[in-house]
Amino acid sequence: MNESGRVVIVGGGILGTMHAVLARRHGYMVTQLEREPAGRGASVRNFGLVWVSGRRAGPELALALRARALWEEIAASAPGTGFRPAGSLTIAASEPELAVMRAAVALPDAKQREFELLTPDEVRSVNPALRGEFLGGLYCRADAIVEPRVALPALRAALAGPSYTWLPGREAVEVTANAVRDQRGDWHRGDLVVLCTGANFTGLAGPHLSAAGALAADQPPGAEPRGLRRVRLQMLQTLPLAERLTTALADGDSLRYYPAYDVPARTALPPQAAVAAASRAQLLLVQRLDGSLTIGDTHEYDEPFGFDVDETAYDHLLARASALLGVALPRVQRRWAGVYSEVVGTTALYHRSDVAPGVVLVTGPGGRGMTCSPAIAEETFL
Ligand SMILES: Cc1cc2nc3c(=O)[nH]c(=O)nc-3n(C[C@H](O)[C@H](O)[C@H](O)COP(=O)(O)OP(=O)(O)OC[C@H]3O[C@@H](n4cnc5c(N)ncnc54)[C@H](O)[C@@H]3O)c2cc1C
């Protein structure tokens, strides 16, 4: 690519939009296509957690830390993203959970994550809205929050100008060297075309992705599947809570799922409550700028996914959130599900492949895509 070149981006989610931001930083003209009127995929359905705390030590943590720094920089010229360095508190309700946290703060990378183990009183002085009963909390100052429902338009507004063309309602249906054709028959050509088509295993990207369910031909029998799989999550949002939460929140179940907490003490955690185990639930809670609470999540791996949402999992998550805050929650205002795709059976943190000369496919960042998107986009333009 030369510095007066053009980059064509397919996909208006956070990966596509961060590619637009980074391409403009490098001086390229940008055309971005989105098949919907605006992004409606995982990027607008998530918590908006820029989540450093749970990332696996090594390259995953490094990518998240780089992304955290980029988010802060980018948000300075796009304040509508709602970026705030609020940090997070993971709350321990039992001694074994506290033991995992003690081990996590003793790890060599605890400083990078800005981890601190807090007593119950210290937890309450950091986040006075926590009036429930608990034994302590893991404070991660490196974590941050953005507003997923408005971050994409805010980033596009910051890009607005003659060098950026946003084309909603355009579905890329054909790809060839350095170009894609949309459903109207218009060709969009660039020095580089980046496909950020999200959790779609059909359509344009489909032939270039291997589903994790089907073992690749070169894998021995019984090997762990590798490729991409999709994950479906349930979420909800309450009406505004009168009080301000100063941090994002997680419950002790999250210690079971995030790789950062893969310490020997984790094996001593008792089994999860049956209802949480059935939906692979962990409580994550983020207060939106209007005071409402985004609460989730669950994890479903077996396709075909349900088309409806399950109340049992919601009952569990709402009870957990209410117990941490020590108050009755405001009424639930909306519920939804979202799907992301993630790479499995590989050390890669996301999928990147060349699908034609001058055309690259970038997807599959899993549950860390909102966090890592700016750093993933940066890697495209290295
Ligand atoms: C419920 C939920 C909670 C999550 N919470 C977090 C979190 O708090 N923090 C975090 O880091 N990550 C989180 N994630 C993960 C994160 O949201 C995803 O990794 C990320 O949003 C993926 O971004 P994307 O741009 O690849 O996909 P998407 O947001 O799905 O965007 C892909 C876009 O491409 C468009 N498209 C597809 N095909 C075409 C085509 N042929 N032509 C034109 N347009 C096309 C689609 O319409 C879509 O808008 C969460 C995910 C979910 C589902």
Q: How far is the CA of 15 from the centre of ligand 1 (A)?
A: 7
Among candidate residues 325, 291, 20, the one with its CA nearest the CA of residue 152: 20
Beta-carbon contacts of residue 142 (< 8 Å; ≥ 6 apart): 52, 53, 65, 68, 87, 112, 113, 114
Higher per-residue pLDDT: 56 or 216:
56
Per-residue pLDDT at 209: 87
Task: Give 218-231 pLDDT, tens digit per residue.
Answer: 556 666 667 899 99
> Which atom of ligand 1 is least distant from the CA of 339?
53
pLDDT for residue 362: 97
Cα of 296 to ligand 1 centre, how many Å? 17
Does residue 185 have a pLDDT over 60?
yes
Q: CA 316, CA 322: separation in Å to the nearest integer?
A: 10
Using a 6 Å cutoff on CB, does residue 134 contact ligand 1?
no
Q: How close is the Cα of 2 to the center of ligand 1, in Å?
A: 29
CA of 14 to the centre of ligand 1 (A): 6
Query: What is d(CA 22, CA 170) in angstroms, rounded to the nearest whole number?
Result: 22
Question: Of the residues 8, 21, 45, 46, which should be mutated to test ligand 1's pocket, given the most ligand atoms within 8 Å of the CB?
Answer: 46
Question: pLDDT band at residue 107, thresholds of 50, 70 and 90?
Answer: very high
pTM score of the predicted model: 0.96
pLDDT digits (tens, 9 = 90+) for 316-363: 999 999 999 999 999 999 999 999 999 999 999 999 999 999 999 999
State the closest ligand 1 atom to the C-alpha of 362, by its place in the atom list counted from 1: 26
Question: pLDDT tens digits, residue range 135-159?
Answer: 999 999 999 999 999 999 999 999 9
- Which residue is it, tokens 């507004």? 157
Question: Which ligand 1 atom sits closest to the C-alpha of 173?
Answer: 41
Taking the CA of residue 171 as reference, the ligand 1 atom at the shortest distance is: 42
Nearest to 138 by CA among 87, 184, 185: 87
> Which one of 56, 149, 229, 340 would you pick to mutate in the ligand 1 pocket, going by the greatest count of ligand atoms within 8 A of its CB?
340
pLDDT value at residue 225: 61
Pocket test for ligand 1, best of 43, 55, 149, 187 (most atoms within 8 A of CB): 43
C-alpha–C-alpha distance, residues 90 and 17, integer Å: 30
Closest atom, ligand 1, to C-alpha of 286? 8
- Residue with the smallest CA separation from ligand 1 atom 27 is 198
What residue's CA is closest to ligand 1, atom 2?
A: 46
Tell me how far the alpha carbon of residue 310 lies from the centroid of ligand 1, in angstroms: 22
How many H helices and E strands in the chain? 11, 19
pLDDT (mean) for 281-294? 98
